[in-house]
Structure 1
Amino acid sequence: MAFPSRHSLFPFLAWLPRQTRASVGRDLVVGLSGAILALPQSIAYALIAGLPPEYGLYAAIIPVLIACLWGSSWHLICGPTAAISIVLYASISPLAMPASEDYITLILLLTFLAGIFQWLLGLLRFGALVNFVSHSVVLGFTLGAAVVIAIGQLPNLLGLELPASATALASLMDLLRHLGAVDNPSLMLGAATVVLGVVLKRLLPRWPTLLITLVLASLWVWLWPAMFAHVHLVSAFVGRLPPFSALPLDLDLVLRLLPSAVAVGMLGLVTSLSIARSISARSQQLLDANQEVRAQGLSNMVGAFFSGSLSAGSFTRSGLSYEAGACSPLAGVFSALWVALFALFGAGLIAQIPIPAMAGSILLIAWGLVDHRGIRALWRVSRAEFVVMGLTCLATLLLELQTAIYAGVLASLFFYLKRTSQPRVQHWRDGEDDVLRVGGSIFFGASHYLQVRLQRLHGTRVVIEAQQINFIDYSGVEMLHQEARRLLRQNRSLTLRRARPQVVEELRKLEGAEKCPIRFED
């Protein structure tokens, strides 16, 4: 019996001993930059998820530590994200009051279940399964999530208190009915935050503009109490490290949350692996997709017991880690430790942030989620994939978000099957022969299409140039045998030329090599 090596159980032992004083110092500084970026984002994402602000910090500590130490990417930094947060909110808000104890418990249980799903995928080496969620689905969901986030934050920006709705469309209709009750100081503060954030992003793109705008907005409220005294602030909390959270073992509850856990778990994996692969292409690092999937699952399983909501790869924090020159995953570890220090000693400062300013910052985050370049490229390259993106975005606005993910995957699979069910076929005449060159697999979805093409031919001999046929299933085998027997009854023949050995073997299995009605040529 073979026992796993210590590097497979503790993969960080493969790179940690190689670190030097210089590399550790560099990672310490990069980690501080990442923490400065993570602080306002994590708080914003907690509010999007319907959680108290401190839970955003908790999600950026233990889950990040584990994902960095057990993952395979040197630059992938995880934590709470906007898209994941909005799915968590949509999944749990119908079941409990946001920010309540029951709500927090359900969020953590959902995180734990999603972590188990991710970990099992990695354990069974099914990391490639995330490839079934196409890039167009991710683009459409992210675009829709950005709109949903924006609609959800508009009441906070306008100083309104509205009940949660199941879909973005219902939230928008509710908002329009209450526009007469807009609080002008809240609107002024939120709009100023958005404008200032846009200006600073243009002038100082490498600075922590989100943090700067929140600090300036808080100072404005503090210096002008006559105008902003009634404006709501972020809820105060006790500064502490992530507390241990017990999770309920209720089978009915687990079964109820399972579909959402699978959807959000798959979304997290797609996001994380997409980021890791894009950065590894620039850093020339080899990735182990299954190890990365296991690390994501482990981080969410353990993180749920330490008050961390579901974590996934962050575009901005991972990009910063690479651009700032991180030498190893220690940069992510140090980032989590810096956030832990702030969670311990910075609670009083967070409680001074005005809610309209935070809403304005979240609107900027939502705008940053939209991949404008990717959407334009998709329109130029593939109209079918663009339709998939549009359908996913529409489903995100009209349906519950976890359902929208499934709808996008189904739409993507539909277009894929439609495309593969009509393999490329070239036809020409060669004397008395009809020749077809088939490019693609002959499987149950493509068999009927190819059979119709074969039945339209009238040559004495029908020849299929089969060197591009990689795979044939039982439906394809049965169809070719049926067509070969039909041609024999008409004193004609069916010949496969230059077929791959595995294709010939499958075709000869049906009736035995000596009875196979199909001829083969090299």
Structure 2
Amino acid sequence: MQNLNKLFVKYRPDLISGLTTATIALPQNMAYALILGINPIYGIYASIFSMLVASVFNLSSYIIVGPTNMMAIALYSSLHNFQGQDYLQIIFLTTFLIGLFQFLLVTFNLSELVKYVSHPVVVALSHGAAVLILFSQLKNFTGINIQGANVLSKFWSFILNISQLNYLNLLIGVTTILLIYLIPLIKKELPEYIITIIIMTIFTFLTGIDNSIPLIGKLPKQVIDFNLVNFDWKLIGLVYSKAFSIALLGLIQTMAVLQAISLKTEEEVDFKREFKSQGITNMVIAFFSSFAISASFSNTFANLSAGARHKVSQLFCALAIIIFILFFRPLLAYVPVAVLAGLIITAAFGIFDFKEVIKNMKTTKGDAIIFWSTFTATLIFPNLDHAIYFGILISLVVILQISKKADIEMLYYNKKEDESGYHLRQKSKQADITAQQARVIDLKGAVHFSAADDLKAKLADFYEPETDFIIRMRNARRVDITIIGVLEEFIDQVQASGAEVMLTGVNKRILKMMRKIGLTEKIGEDNIYLPETEYFAATHKALDFSNNNHE
């Protein structure tokens, strides 16, 4: 008995946080099933079984997995053309393939690729998905039959069919949104989602309007719905590329949640373990009538805020949902579809972060191009997976354009009054420096072969016959053989005019490479200066040597 008391005391915070998170996860995950156009029970299945499996394989003490708006809209945009008799089986097959791809990416150390998806792509995808989510629920929210392959065509369809507007349906949806925003104003700790559903369900039942608006309807009785995934090779051929892109999206979202959690808790994150857990979870839940999941921002932070301390909180959350379904299933039949649509729309509003958008606009021109290109593609392309690939492609194009520029500049200088060194600056107070005065060139960053032409052009601009050149490499992290070749040509040109080239701040790794290819013999070991503790110390020595030689 004493041991049970100790266990209760130890896990009491996790029990409370699990119960609290369940009040948010249950209504949200039912709503996410609605995005896919399937019975909300499948959102409950996905919620329960993903938490049960992840509570075994996850490492994080705080993370809560389950259906998310991003994953739901990605699945819907990729698979809505398959809606029909085999739609559910195609969803389950795609979910299994998503998990398999995630597991294989981690197994072969390719999951690191998600870290190279630029931040503007992720922000643009999330905001574009928010718009897609809003349009996906217009039919359920307003009662208007909307058709179209993308946002533009759906909006036009909405305008053309505005006469179909169901005012009662709209009123239920708007009231739902208002309640979700108003309840926290009464008391912040109140679970606004579950309270809203209870209020609107009771209202629907008591007023008798259930005959005038669409309801969720009767839910299946079974809590466990085991099914065999249909591994049809023809279907696999149709959905595997879509599954791969959604697998990447799931890992990106999980990575973002883990990074945010680590900042708040200082928890050491094992990305590979969490990614592999997600892959295993998606493969397993596909056999339990569930659709693809990832780490959930809202549920994870609700779990953290409620006081979770161990990963068992996720297990308690799953058990709480099971208990709720067993006892309150009949009442869920009276939940209006417009209420779930209101929950989804509220969640979509929560994605919008205009400060983050402005930040992407103002940081660099490249970030702005990546953001707007990906965001536009998300709205125009018929499938979200196309927008993901397009965003990554634009990122690569921008990176290649940036890498074509060599980070190199001339440093101007004059002797200090105490003659203990030099003032080195990017711009001279004078119009120019005198001919034959040694010129200091600062080469920075990782300079790749793509920047060879730009480097050659800039060195040609800096060149002055019979003038010594000091190439400062303290901040050069990496140079490849093509760049070395450009530098070698420049050295030959300078030496042919009777002057010398000195390299300063050369780190041991670059020096070793230069020795291997014979560049140190061409320059002379005495003209190569290793980095010193004092900034510009090696450059000052080179300047002294050059100026003394020309006195």
2:393 maps to amino acid: L
Contact preservation (8 Å) 2:14, 2:310: yes
1:28 aligns with 2:36: no
Counterpart of 2:474, as a letter, is Q
Query: 1:123-272 counterparts in 2 under 5 A?
Result: 123-163=107-147, 165-225=148-208, 227-272=209-254
Pair 104,492 (structure 1): closer, same or farther in 2 beyond 3 Å: farther
Alpha carbons 1:72, 1:291 under 8 Å: kept: yes
TM-score (norm 2): 0.85
CA-CA distance at 1:490 after TM superposition: 4.1
**Which stretch of the first structure deviates more once superposed, 365-374 or 423-432?**
423-432
Of the structure 1 ranges 213-222 and 49-58, higher mean CA displacement relative to structure 2 is found in 213-222
Does structure 1 residue 321 correspond to structure 2 residue 279? no
Does residue 83 (structure 1) correspond to residue 83 (structure 2)? The answer is no
Contact 2:502–2:528 (Cα < 8 Å) also in 1: yes
2:336 paired residue number: 354
> Match for residue 503 of structure 1?
510
Unaligned runs of 5+ in 1: 1-18
Contact 1:74 1:329 in 2 (8 A): yes
Query: By how many angstroms is 1:510 displaced?
Result: 4.1
- What secondary structure is seen at the aligned counterpart in 1 of 2:502? strand
Contact 1:49-1:85 at 8 Å conserved across structures: yes
Query: Aligned match of 1:520 in 520, 528, 537?
Result: 528
Match status 1:370 vs 2:352: yes
Could you tell me which runs of 5 or more consecutive residues in structure 2 were left unpaired when the two chains were aligned.
1-5, 414-435, 531-551
Residue equivalent to 1:481: 488
Tell me how far apart the structure 2 counterparts of residues 342 and 230 of structure 1 sit (CA, whole Å).
27
Q: 1:487 to 1:239 in 2, by over 3 A?
A: farther
Shift of 1:284: 1.8
Report how many residues are paired. Answer: 499
1:175-214: CA deviation from partner (whole Å, max 9, x where unpaired): 1111011122112222222222222244333322122222
Partner residue of 2:36? 49
Check 1:448–1:68 CA distance in 2 against 1; reply closer, same or farther (3 A cut): farther
For 1:388 and 1:30, the matched residues in 2 are separated by 39
Which residue identity lines up with residue 504 of structure 1 in the other structure? L
Per-residue CA deviations over 1:397-456 (Å, capped at 9, x if unaligned) read 111211111222222333333334334323135663222111211112222222211111
1:339 aligns with 2:311: no
Q: Percent identity?
A: 28
Q: Is the 8 A contact 2:94 2:239 kept in 1?
A: yes
Letter of the 1:450 counterpart: L
How many Å separate the matches in 2 of 1:365 and 1:508?
60
Question: In structure 2, what is the equivalent of residue 72 of structure 1?
Answer: 59
Match of 2:462, SS? coil
Equivalent residue for 1:455? 460
C-alpha spacing 1:482/1:257, structure 2 compared with 1 (3 Å): farther
How many angstroms does 1:514 deviate by? 4.8
C-alpha displacement of 1:287: 1.1
Contact 1:59 1:308 in 2 (8 A): yes
Give the aligned residue type for 2:452.
Answer: S
| Residues 511/37 of structure 1: CA separation in 2 closer, same or farther (3 Å cut) | same
The TM-score normalised by the length of structure 1 is 0.89
Which one has the largest radius of gyration?
A: 2
Shift of 1:46: 0.6
The equivalent position to 1:278 in structure 2, one of 250, 260, 265, is 260
Q: State whether residues 477 and 506 of structure 1, in contact with CA within 8 Å, keep that contact through their aligned partners in structure 2.
A: no
* CA displacement, residues 27-85 of structure 1 (integer Å, 9 cap, x when unaligned): 11211111111110000001112222111011112222222332222111110000110
Q: Does the CA contact (< 8 Å) of 1:221 and 1:229 recur in 2?
A: no
Q: Distance in 2 between matches of 1:424 and 1:203?
A: 56
1:96 CA displacement: 3.0
